[in-house]
């Protein structure tokens, strides 16, 4: 059972990080936000990657916590 939980956590983290990355890439026009976007392309991509990892990880932890709470409530009743 623990192996299934680890695989579920890992895949949830990866999927949500990827979804967040795609949202950050397509949702914002980073050229308007950053000064001299042509000189800072690598830095912008690294910032987007770090933001997507952070947001995706937090959302994944939230979802996994909700799943664990619902499992415990189901087993309690």
pLDDT, residue 23, reads 95
pTM of the full structure = 0.83
> Using alpha carbons only, what angle is made at residue 24 by residues 21 and 26, rounded to the nearest 5 degrees?
105
pLDDT, residue 38, reads 79
The tens digit of pLDDT for each residue in 24-76 reads 999 988 888 888 877 888 888 999 999 999 999 999 999 999 999 999 999 88
Q: Indicate the burial class of 66 (C-beta count within 10 angstroms; 0-12, 13-18, 19 or more).
A: exposed
């Amino acid at each position: 059972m623990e192996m299934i939980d680890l695989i579920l956590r890992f895949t949830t983290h990866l999927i949500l990080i990827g979804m967040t990355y795609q949202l950050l890439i397509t949702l914002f026009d980073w050229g308007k936000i950053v000064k001299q976007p042509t000189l800072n392309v690598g830095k912008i991509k690294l910032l987007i990657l770090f933001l997507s990892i952070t947001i995706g990880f937090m959302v994944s932890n939230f979802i996994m916590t909700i799943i664990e709470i619902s499992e415990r409530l189901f087993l309690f009743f």
